[in-house]
């Protein structure tokens, strides 16, 4: 009861300050006191009871929606599924996606043979080209050849046309088919790429779309840095993976990423 008197006094002071008629003030006080006491005496609901009255769609956690893109590496309307940690650490540009320091924690744990830390960095390129799959393959071959010639020149070495062709052939693996999770058929090509400061193992996936007259491609570059001041007699000693079984582990790992390639609907 004392609380009601205090409330009435407070409201009366407020009304007096506003110069309202006393009869009107009495009615307002009664209504305000009733409303205040009613709200004070009404039992409070628990948090659980309150939440149960809110529609599920309003309290649903947003994690599911966020995760739908957290593990997608996208370019235009194309994407592949990658570990979410790559998205957090890597840098996406117009040209490619770069993932540095893959030989360090925590990134190395997402790659095969983390205890060996073979690959020092990575880059991934996803795109489309209004040319044939063979023209795209030849483009990569041309880049591979120019890198090799520059490396030889820098080190004062040269090769005949026959030797150069043989060397480039040794720096490729046989191509093979790959069936994507979507059921589409792609082709995989493998290249060793030797430069002055680094060596790359390239996995190139080509997926033609005859209806649109384009090819979709995804290129993984696994990179190892070179610190030797002189070229080895056998240039194949520069390759990223020394042992075939290590290389195959990374090929199989890359295939699983590439199988997820798809187009946004």
Cα–Cα–Cα angle for 180, 219, 195, rounded to 5 degrees: 150
Residue 248 has a pLDDT of: 98
Helix (H, G, I), strand (E, B) or coil at 170: helix
Q: Give the predicted TM-score (pTM) of the model.
A: 0.74
Mean pLDDT is lowest, of 52-66, 68-82, 208-222, for 52-66
Q: For residue 106, is the peptide bond before it cis, meaning its omega torsion is within 30 degrees of 0? A: yes
**What is the side-by-side strand order in the sheet with 97-99?**
91-92, 97-99, 121-129, 214-225, 198-209, 185-194, 172-179
Q: Which two tokens stand for residue 214?
A: 């384009």
Taken in order 219, 224, 226, 231, the sign of the CA dihedral is: negative
Q: Give, in order, the Cα–Cα distances in Å from 127 to each of 35, 73, 134.
A: 66, 12, 15
Looking at every residue in the chain, the average pLDDT score rounds to 82
By percentage, how much of the chain surpasses pLDDT 70? 74
Residue 61 has a pLDDT of: 38
Q: What is the mean pLDDT of residues 116-122?
A: 97
pLDDT in tens, 159-194: 999 999 999 999 999 999 999 999 999 999 999 999
- Which positions ≥6 away from 176 have C-beta within 8 Å? 187, 188
């Amino acid at each position: 009861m004392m609380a009601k008197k205090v409330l009435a006094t407070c409201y009366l002071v407020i009304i007096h300050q506003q110069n309202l008629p006393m009869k009107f003030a009495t009615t307002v006080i009664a209504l305000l006191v009733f409303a205040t006491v009613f709200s004070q005496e009404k039992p409070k609901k628990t948090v659980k009871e309150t939440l149960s009255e809110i529609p599920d769609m309003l309290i649903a956690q947003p994690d599911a929606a966020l995760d739908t893109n957290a593990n997608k590496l996208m370019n235009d309307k194309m994407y592949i599924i990658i570990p979410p940690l790559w998205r957090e650490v890597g840098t996406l540009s117009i040209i490619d996606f770069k993932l540095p320091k893959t030989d360090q924690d925590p990134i190395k744990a997402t790659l095969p043979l983390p205890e060996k830390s073979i690959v020092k960095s990575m880059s991934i390129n996803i795109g489309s080209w209004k040319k044939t799959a063979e023209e795209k393959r030849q483009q990569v071959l041309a880049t591979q050849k120019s890198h090799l010639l520059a490396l030889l020149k820098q080190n004062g070495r040269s090769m005949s046309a026959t030797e150069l062709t043989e060397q480039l052939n040794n720096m490729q693996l046989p191509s093979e088919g790959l069936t994507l999770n979507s059921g589409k058929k792609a082709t995989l090509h493998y290249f060793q790429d030797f430069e002055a400061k680094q060596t790359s193992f390239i996995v190139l996936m080509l997926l033609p779309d005859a209806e649109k007259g384009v090819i979709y491609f995804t290129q993984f570059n696994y990179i190892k840095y070179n610190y030797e001041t002189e070229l080895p007699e056998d240039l194949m000693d520069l390759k990223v993976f020394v042992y075939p079984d290590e290389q195959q582990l990374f090929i199989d790992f890359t295939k699983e990423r590439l199988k997820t390639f798809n187009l946004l609907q």
